[in-house]
Structure 1
Amino acid sequence: MSNSRGFTLIELLISMAIIATLAAVAYPRYIAHTKKAYRAEIVGLLSEQAQYLERHYVRNGSFIDAAGISEGNDRYRITVILNPQDFSLIATPLSSAMAGDRCGDFSLSSTGARTNPGAENGATRQECWGR
């Protein structure tokens, strides 16, 4: 005679309830950290493109004919507005993980102004730009 015993239904249900509770707490935090990383990535890309445009301006005296500007990445599309003496870079979330993000769009101008058009109320510059 063997005395082997498996899980009872109540033990199994309790285990599932604990796992579900942990998942309900962990998943939103995971998504928040992922979005924070994606925001940092686009902020870095915008800064990199602004530096490229500034170097182009120093060499050519105008922003107008700058070529080779990034179009963005898988999560953001960058729109570039070039004028002879200034520029604006606008990163718009694509319909992916960042669609509906509380920071909205990211806008960086030649003066260094950083804004978030379409951001939710309460979204801070620290949260969106990381500074």
Structure 2
Amino acid sequence: MNARDATRTPARWAAAFSLMELVVALAIVAALAAYALPSYREHVARAHRADAAMALYRAAQYLEAGTDAHAGGAVVLPAGLDQAPPVGAPVYRLHVVDGDRASGYYALEARPVDAGPMAGDACGTFILDVLGERMNRRAGSRGTMDPGCWLARR
């Protein structure tokens, strides 16, 4: 018996996986991934919605503080307050809509970035006005309140 035959003992072959065991293990992993991925994506979407709502409240606080936010008569948000999240790649862009410093009225809008992860989201654009009214506007519709979007639960 040579050295090569000595290494092929039944004990060594018993430690390996059979093709059937590998297929079963892969099927279990695939089943877990089928449940985990949609749940993970929904969690990420809820986190982005919460970021948009918090960014609107931060921008409203900035405007309420009476800071000079005018640029040629229009109300403009500074860098960092004009997007959500405040640093990194923007998922939502914030804009002041109908900003009129003389009357004290403004409405803030957080619109999903066109090529971003929330572009086709059911919540659409988040809107917060000076009175604290919260709305969501989906493409092709008027503003409606969807509490599930603002509570980051959907």
- Distance across 2 between alignment mates of 1:124 and 1:8: 57
Letter in 1 for 2:151: G
Q: 1:112 to 1:43 in 2, by over 3 A?
A: same
Q: Which runs of 5+ in 1 are unaligned?
A: none
Letter in 1 for 2:83: G
Q: What RMSD over aligned residues (CA atoms) do the two structures have, in Å?
A: 2.4
Give the structure 1 partner of residue 108 of structure 2. 89
Q: 1:88 to 1:29 in 2, by over 3 A?
A: same
- Distance across 2 between alignment mates of 1:124 and 1:53: 23
Alignment counterpart, residue 94 of structure 2, candidates 78, 85, 92: 78
Alignment counterpart, residue 30 of structure 2, candidates 4, 20, 28: 20
Q: Which runs of 5+ in 2 are unaligned?
A: 1-5, 85-89
State whether residues 106 and 117 of structure 1, in contact with CA within 8 Å, keep that contact through their aligned partners in structure 2: yes
- Distance across 1 between alignment mates of 2:125 and 2:77: 22
State whether residues 90 and 106 of structure 1, in contact with CA within 8 Å, keep that contact through their aligned partners in structure 2: yes
Letter in 2 for 1:127: G
**1:42 positional shift:** 1.2
Letter in 1 for 2:112: P
Sequence identity (%)? 35
State whether residues 56 and 66 of structure 1, in contact with CA within 8 Å, keep that contact through their aligned partners in structure 2: no
Greater helix content: 1
**1:66 positional shift:** 4.7
The yes-or-no answer on 1:50 pairing with 2:60 is yes
The yes-or-no answer on 1:7 pairing with 2:17 is yes
**1:44 positional shift:** 0.6
Largest Rg, 1 or 2: 2
State whether residues 94 and 110 of structure 2, in contact with CA within 8 Å, keep that contact through their aligned partners in structure 1: yes
Q: 1:68 to 1:102 in 2, by over 3 A?
A: closer
Greater strand content: 2
Q: TM-score, normalised by structure 2?
A: 0.71
Q: 1:7 to 1:28 in 2, by over 3 A?
A: same
Q: TM-score, normalised by structure 1?
A: 0.82
- Distance across 2 between alignment mates of 1:13 and 1:66: 61
